[in-house]
Amino acid sequence: MTLITDVLTRAARQTSVTAPASWLTATSDEHREIRDDFLLETVDDVLERLDLPSPIGAKYTLTGDGSETYALPSQFKRLQRDRLAVYDNLLDRPCVPVTEDGEYTSIKDLGAAGITRYYKLTGYEGNWSISFYDEPSASVTIDIHYVTTYWKVSSGGTVGSEFTDPGDVILLPRRLVESGIVWRWRERKGLDYQAKYMEYEAQIARLSNDVRGRRVVRFADPGERVRWQSLVPSFIPEA
């Protein structure tokens, strides 16, 4: 486990900035840049690009009540980039995303979703909601896999999204965050930042592969299956 203060101090050394007595209360421009700008920009970039495991990744099970729109958890940042991210347990199939208002309105006006349930996200950070057509009834549960805004944990074990105590531990890989801070600092100062930027991008790529896993085809393995396919055998012998 790595303290946020340790990450900031290591990044400061790489930028030839003297670390303050307290990163939490430091008020000089150079310290605030590292703590409030470059650290948070790096954290936000990582959370936007990687589907990391719990407690950064989470699942929320929504229970229908016949309404069209439902509030999402306050720590919701975005859906995981997975075609099964919004899964209807009654239909036993993923819901279909709709990104355009006009398309969503047209689907509703058409009034025929069939066996497909569509969804659309609306809102902003801290106030996201999700709408469905057809509206889920009281017998319907929908699993929503998402990325939270969490990136640190307190000494007492509470996850959060703000640096509030010297004992706070960062949930993201230390070297990745340090590289992100340093290349952003160097770019802001008009210095050569390409080497550190490439290091950061390489770490992002490796972590993405590690999190997602490599897709490998095996002749002895039927491969990836979604849940509704399990109801149908992959081979039906002739009569």
Give CA–CA dist 109/111, Å, rounded: 5
Mean pLDDT of 43-56: 96
**218, two tokens:** 């095996």
Q: Give yes or no for a contact between 38 and 4, defined as CB atoms under 8 angstroms apart.
A: no
Buried residues in 73-106 as b, exposed as e (16+ CB within 10 A): eebbbbbbeeeebbbbeebebbbeebeeeeebee
Strands 127-133 and 159-160: unpaired
The candidate with the shortest Cα–Cα distance to 9, out of 175, 20, 151, is 20
Pairing status of strand 127-133 against strand 141-148: unpaired
Kindly report the average pLDDT of the chain as a whole number: 90
Tens of pLDDT along 134-151? 999 998 999 999 999 999
97/77 Cα distance (integer angstroms): 16
What percent of the chain has a predicted confidence (pLDDT) above 70? Answer: 87
d(CA 175, CA 46): 12
Distance CA 38, CA 35 (A): 6
Q: What are the extents of the domains in the chain?
A: 2-51+157-210, 57-148
Please report, rounded to a whole number, the percentage of residues in the chain having pLDDT higher than 90. 82
Q: Could you tell me the pTM of the whole model?
A: 0.85
**pLDDT (tens digit per residue) in 184-226:** 999 999 999 999 999 999 999 999 988 765 444 455 555 555 5
How confident is the model at residue 223, as a pLDDT?
52
